[in-house]
């Protein structure tokens, strides 16, 4: 499991490439915000199955394994549990390193339960 703290105004897709360098998954499950040709080509090069629904404005729609896409709810539920920790939900820590440590600590507690 990898965690990284970014600025609030940064798009999530900007962090996809750095995370792919750290891990070696069989599939990449993400929402429509990650539907970018550059990312999908990179995933295909590394033989990672992209499980990303096509945006509605895409000219050529890709097939998506929606049975596998349903597994994305595990990540959504994890973030929901993470937000139950008051210090994380309100971002009490102003330093990135301290906040990341709090998120990692809360993540460990979630995973142990």
What's the pLDDT tens digit per position in 29-62?
988 989 989 999 999 999 999 999 998 888 888 8
Residue with tokens 């990898």: 2
In the chain, where are the structural domains located? 1-69, 83-113
For residue 8, the model assigns a pLDDT of: 74
Q: 3-state DSSP call for residue 17?
A: helix
DSSP class per residue in 82-96: HTTSHHHHTT---SH
For residue 46, the model assigns a pLDDT of: 92
pLDDT of 12 > 90? The answer is no
The Cα 84–Cα 35 span in angstroms is 30
pLDDT digits (tens, 9 = 90+) for 62-105: 888 889 999 999 989 998 999 999 888 887 777 888 888 889 99
Q: 3-state DSSP call for residue 49?
A: strand
């Amino acid at each position: 499991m990898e965690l990284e703290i970014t600025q609030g105004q940064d798009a999530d897709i900007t962090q996809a490439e750095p995370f792919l360098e750290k891990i070696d998954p069989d599939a990449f499950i993400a929402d429509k915000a990650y539907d970018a040709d550059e990312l999908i080509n990179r995933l295909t090069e590394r033989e990672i199955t992209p499980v990303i629904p096509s945006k509605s404005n895409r000219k050529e729609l890709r097939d998506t394994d929606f049975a596998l896409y349903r597994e994305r709810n595990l990540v959504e539920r994890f973030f929901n549990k993470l937000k139950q920790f008051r210090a994380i939900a309100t971002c009490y820590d102003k330093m990135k390193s301290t906040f990341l440590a709090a998120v990692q600590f809360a993540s460990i507690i979630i995973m142990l339960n």
